C-alpha cells in the first residue's frame, strides 16, 4: 500500500484527558442503570475469563505444545545474558500465555459487549452469507451489522478485498432477512486509533468504490472513514470505526469507560499502588498511570483508588496521547 494513496484519510492524534475520564467514571457511578450494566458485564467477563484461564497451558505442559522458535530462544538468551536452561524456561510460559490469550481475548470481549448493549452475536459457518458478521441489531428501519477485529493492524490487502466482496455480495441478502432497505455496516476495531491503523481497514472502502459503478456510489470514501452505495433497492452505509469510535457507536459516550471498569473489576484485585517513585522500565509508563491529578476527595463506588491507575493504563490503548490534566 502506498502511504500517499489518493483519498487516504490523514488522522490527527486522538487525545484523552484524565480529568475527562474521571468525570465519565463519576457519571457512570452516579447512574444506577449504568452501574447495574457494569456489574452485569463484570459478572460475565469474570465467568468467561475464568474459563479461558483454565484452558491455558499449565506449568506441567509438554514442551512440544509451546511451538517455540529455537532462534528466538537463543537471541533472547543472549539479550538477557542467560547461562542456564532454567532461566529461559522461566520466560517461555509467560510468553506463550500472552500469545494464547491474544487469539481469543478479543472474541470474548466482543461477545460480552455486544450482548450487553442489546446486539445479537452472529454465529455462522465459513463461506456462508453471514460469515463476515459478528454482530447484528435491528434499529428501527435500519439493520446495523458489524464485523469486529481485535486490533488496528489485523488486516492485509487480501482480507480487505474479501470484506468488500462480502459486503457487495451479501448486502441484499442481509436486508431481505430482516425485511429492511437500509443497512449500516461497520468494520469495528476493539482497541487502537485511526492513526495506529495500518489503513488496510480503510481499503475496504476503497475496494467498494472500485468495484461499484459510479451510478451506485452515493458517498465517496475520499478523506473519510465511511462510504455509501445503493444496491438495487437497498441503501448501504459502510463505516470503519477504530477503538473509542466503535465503543461510542455501540453504547454511547460512556461505553468505553463502562467496559474498562467492568474488566478491571473482573480481573484486577484492589490493593496497594506502586510507590510513587517506582522506576518503570517502560519510559513513559509512570506518566500514563500517574494519579497525581486525581482530587483528594474523588470517590466512586465502582473502582477503588488503587484501581484508577489501571483505568488510565487500559484507556491509554484507545488514544494516541493521554494528558495528565
CATH for 120: 3.40.1560.10
- Tens of pLDDT, residue by residue over 58-95, are 656 777 777 888 899 999 999 999 999 999 988 888 88
Percent of the chain residues past pLDDT 90, beyond the cut: 73
Do residues 320 and 193 touch, judged by C-beta distance below 8 A? yes
- What torsion, rounded to 10 degrees, do the Cα atoms 274, 278, 279, 280 define? 0
**CB 231 within 8 Å of CB 217:** no
CA distance 21 to 311: 9
In this structure, is residue 286 part of a structural domain?
no
Range of the domain at 187: 108-251
Region 142-151: mean pLDDT is: 95
Residue 178 lies in a domain: yes
pLDDT value of residue 2: 41
97 inside domain: no
Torsion of CA 52, 260, 150, 241, to 10 degrees: 150
7 domain-assigned:
no
Based on the structure, what is the number of domains in the chain?
A: 1
Give, for 136, the enclosing helix (H) or strand (E).
Answer: strand 135-139
Considering the domain boundaries, does residue 315 fall inside one? no
Q: Would residue 147 count as lying in a domain?
A: yes
59 within some domain: no
Amino acid at each position: 500500500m502506498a502511504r500517499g494513496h489518493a483519498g487516504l484519510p490523514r488522522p490527527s492524534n486522538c487525545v484523552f484527558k484524565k480529568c475527562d475520564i474521571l468525570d465519565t467514571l463519576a457519571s457512570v457511578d452516579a447512574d444506577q442503570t449504568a452501574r447495574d450494566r457494569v456489574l452485569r458485564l463484570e459478572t460475565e467477563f469474570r465467568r468467561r475469563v475464568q474459563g479461558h484461564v483454565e484452558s491455558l497451558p499449565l506449568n506441567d505442559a509438554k514442551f512440544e505444545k509451546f511451538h517455540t522458535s529455537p532462534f528466538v530462544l537463543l537471541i533472547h538468551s543472549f539479550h538477557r545474558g542467560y547461562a542456564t536452561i532454567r532461566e529461559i524456561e522461566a520466560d517461555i510460559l509467560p510468553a506463550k500465555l500472552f500469545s494464547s490469550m491474544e487469539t481469543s481475548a478479543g472474541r470474548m470481549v466482543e461477545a460480552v459487549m455486544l450482548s450487553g448493549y442489546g446486539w445479537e452475536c452472529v454465529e455462522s459457518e465459513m463461506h456462508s452469507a453471514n460469515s463476515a458478521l459478528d454482530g447484528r441489531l435491528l434499529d428501527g428501519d435500519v439493520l446495523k451489522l458489524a464485523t469486529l477485529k481485535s486490533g488496528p493492524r489485523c488486516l492485509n490487502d487480501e482480507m480487505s478485498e474479501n470484506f468488500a466482496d462480502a459486503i457487495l455480495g451479501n448486502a441484499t441478502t442481509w436486508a431481505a432477512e430482516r425485511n429492511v432497505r437500509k443497512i449500516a455496516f461497520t468494520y469495528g476495531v476493539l482497541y487502537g486509533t485511526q492513526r495506529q491503523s495500518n489503513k488496510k481497514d480503510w481499503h475496504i472502502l476503497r475496494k467498494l468504490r472500485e468495484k461499484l459503478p459510479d451510478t451506485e456510489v452515493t458517498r465517496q470514501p475520499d478523506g473519510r472513514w465511511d462510504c455509501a452505495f445503493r444496491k438495487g433497492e437497498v441503501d448501504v452505509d459502510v463505516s470503519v470505526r477504530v477503538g473509542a469510535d466503535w465503543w461510542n457507536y455501540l453504547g454511547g459516550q460512556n461505553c468505553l469507560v463502562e467496559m474498562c471498569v467492568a474488566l478491571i473489576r473482573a480481573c484486577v484485585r484492589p490493593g496497594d499502588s506502586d510507590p510513587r517513585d517506582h522506576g518503570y522500565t517502560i519510559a513513559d509508563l509512570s506518566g500514563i498511570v500517574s494519579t497525581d491529578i486525581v482530587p483528594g476527595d474523588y470517590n466512586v463506588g465502582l473502582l477503588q483508588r488503587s484501581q484508577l491507575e489501571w483505568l488510565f493504563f487500559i484507556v491509554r490503548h484507545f488514544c494516541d496521547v493521554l494528558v495528565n490534566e
